[in-house]
């Protein structure tokens, strides 16, 4: 777990550095919602099946729930 914390701190540092340099300004898609397939609430052992079902159109979208 310590390795992930170290990697996370390095990533945060690099992101802050990029922000300070202005490297993250005027990115395409800025201000638009991200289309993220969030499976945080799907148990890890069910994610493959969920993904197959979703790609087959068998999982309702959040807006229809």
Evaluate whether 17 touches 9 at the Cβ level (below 8 Å): no
pLDDT digits (tens, 9 = 90+) for 16-25: 999 999 998 9
Conformational region of residue 61, where left means phi above 0, alpha means psi within -120 to 50, and beta covers everything else:
beta
pLDDT reading at 46 higher than 60? yes
Listed by start position, the domains of the chain span 2-25+36-56
pLDDT reported for residue 2: 87
Q: How far apart are CA 59 and CA 50, in angstroms?
A: 8
* Global pTM value: 0.47
Q: How far apart are CA 38 and CA 41, in angstroms?
A: 8
């Amino acid at each position: 777990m310590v390795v992930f914390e170290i990697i996370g701190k390095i990533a945060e540092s690099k992101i802050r550095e990029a922000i300070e340099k202005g490297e993250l300004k005027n990115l395409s898609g800025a201000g638009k919602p991200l289309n993220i397939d969030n499976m945080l609430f799907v148990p890890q052992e069910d994610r493959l099946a969920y993904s197959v079902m979703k790609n087959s159109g068998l999982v309702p979208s959040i807006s229809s729930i």
